[in-house]
Chain A
Amino acid sequence: DIVMTQSPDSLAVSLGETATINCKSSHNILYRSNNKNYLAWYQQKPGQPPKLLISWASTRESGVPDRFSGSGSGTDFTLTISSLQGEDVALYYCHQYYIVPHTFGQGTKVEIK
């Protein structure tokens, strides 16, 4: 199975500052035939289901604010939240869909400092 490891487990960021979450895959999840990274990011607020933010490592879902951006390739990926807002307090998960079983990172909790 592909193991997804996020860092840090939690972080506290001041309003308006930048939050950076890392996700490392134990296997290369770049599919060379289409040059796509099979990596998604989800946001989960308390009492709610996860919500898709980003697919293909860097493609923002429709309606997601542009302060959310994804980057990386191969085995190392980053979710960046620029100019953090109060409504961004949540858990964030990375997810590889390169191969079954699909696997998730353990989650990163973002709080306001």
Chain B
Amino acid sequence: QVQLVESGGGVVQPGGSLRLSCATSGFTFSSYGMHWVRQAPGKGLEWVAFIRYDGTNTFYADSVKGRFTISRDNSKNTLFLQMKSLRPEDTAFYYCAKASCSDNVCFYFDQWGRGTLVTVSS
């Protein structure tokens, strides 16, 4: 049974930093690309970042490029999102999502964690 459990959310001041983690189990983590997707309270879904199964390639939404870094530790089956220079508009639930992949090409999100809330406020 696939499990994705996010942690690390909380309240942070504008300009601050936070590191989110996503602990995974129930699948071969090192074989799949992974995403972060966020959702501001009461709003829609926004894709944030993607990392290839081996960490060699990453992609970011323009809204977070240069401020957020996605990474992974395949030895610990864990995904990370380092967030810096946080802004009030970054306030959201952050979900990690497993990609459905084939031959190292990844597509839709087939499993989601329950999310962790990040609040950027003074």
Interface positions of A (Cβ within 8 A of B): 38, 40, 42, 48-52, 55, 61, 93, 95, 97, 100-107
- With A55-B100, A101-B47, A107-B44 known as contacts, the answer to whether A50 contacts B112 (CB < 8 A) is yes
Given A50-B45, A52-B108, output 7 extra A-B contacts at Cβ < 8 Å: A38-B107, A42-B45, A49-B112, A55-B107, A55-B108, A93-B44, A95-B45
By a CB distance below 8 angstroms, the chain A residues around B100 are 55
Which residue, of A95, A101, A102, has the highest number of chain B Cβ atoms within 10 A?
A102
Contact B44 A95 (CB under 8 A): no
A104-B45 Cα distance, complex, nearest whole Å: 6
Interface of A is mostly: loop
Contact A52 B107 (CB under 8 A): no
**Number of residues from B at the complex interface, CB < 8 A:** 20
By a CB distance below 8 angstroms, the chain B residues around A51 are 112
By a CB distance below 8 angstroms, the chain A residues around B61 are 101
Contact A100 B50 (CB under 8 A): yes
